[in-house]
Amino acid sequence: MASVVVEGLVLPVALGGHPALDFCNTRAGWGEPRPKEYLVSHAHLLLWARENGLVTAPAAKQTDQAAAHAPAEATAVLRRAVRFREALYDVLAGLARPANWAAVSAEAQRAAAVAVLRPGTPAATWELPVTTGAELPLLAVARSAADLLTTPAARTVAACPGHGCGWLFADPRGRRRWCSMALCGNRAKARRHSDRNRPAPAITGTAGTSAAGAAGRSFTHGDPSEGP
């Protein structure tokens, strides 16, 4: 699996090229009946945001304490994050309906509304205050998504065709096929090699019967959980 263990929690590896893309990749197997879910708790969401540079370590610590004191709020934030991710995925993958854009816009507006302009060097920056509590990691990823969507880079996003994958990645040159050649690319090569070397089924019975059997034969290529 394309994942790492950080402080006892399993997180997906970052392969997308932008935090907003990697946020979408906290699910693998998009469109599959049994996708792989990485955002299984608010703690996973917060740790993911910290590890991807959207939340500082001190802010993450304070947010974790706030979430511990308000578990119902933390759970609600996680649900919002999952809904936001679904809408964002469709927007970035070019599958969006107006409702998807509305959902992404709503979270981006919430992030913009609470951002504070801080002085800095060489220039001032917009920051999300830790007083936002359990919302902080969601607001951070919403702002990151808005940053991406307002640049031409949003039009260079591709989705991995690997079985059980669907991860998004930046593809500015239009030459990248897989989220990772070492992962989905090699799996696809192995399946093609296996298919080429699979013995032909024995032909029994009448010609009509064997032809019908061959026509109805289908081969599966593993469980969707084999994706990243």
Q: What is the pLDDT of residues 138-151, one digit of tens each?
A: 999 999 999 999 99
- Answering whether pTM is above 0.85, one says no
Q: How confident is the model at residue 203 (pLDDT cuts 50, 70, 90)?
A: low
Asked if the model's pLDDT at residue 31 lies above 90, the reply is no
Taking the CB of residue 151, how many other CB atoms lie within 10 A of it? 10
41: its two tokens: 């708790």
Note the pLDDT of residue 217: 29
Domain residues of the chain, as ranges? Answer: 3-170
Note the pLDDT of residue 228: 64
- The H or E element that residue 24 is part of is helix 19-24
Which phi and psi angles does 93 have, rounded to 5°?
-85, 0
Note the pLDDT of residue 112: 97
- The Cα 106–Cα 26 span in angstroms is 21
Lowest mean pLDDT of 18-22, 65-69, 172-176, name the range.
Answer: 172-176
Note the pLDDT of residue 4: 95
- The H or E element that residue 75 is part of is helix 71-92
* Average pLDDT value over all residues in the chain: 86
- The Cα 11–Cα 25 span in angstroms is 10
Asked if the model's pLDDT at residue 38 lies above 90, the reply is yes
Note the pLDDT of residue 192: 57
Class for the domain spanning 3-170: mainly alpha
- The Cα 171–Cα 70 span in angstroms is 40
DSSP string for 85-130:
HHHHHHHHTT---HHHHHHHHHHHHHHHHH-EEE--SSS-EEE--G
Cβ neighbours for 203, distance < 8 A, ≥ 6 positions apart: 210
- The Cα 92–Cα 149 span in angstroms is 8
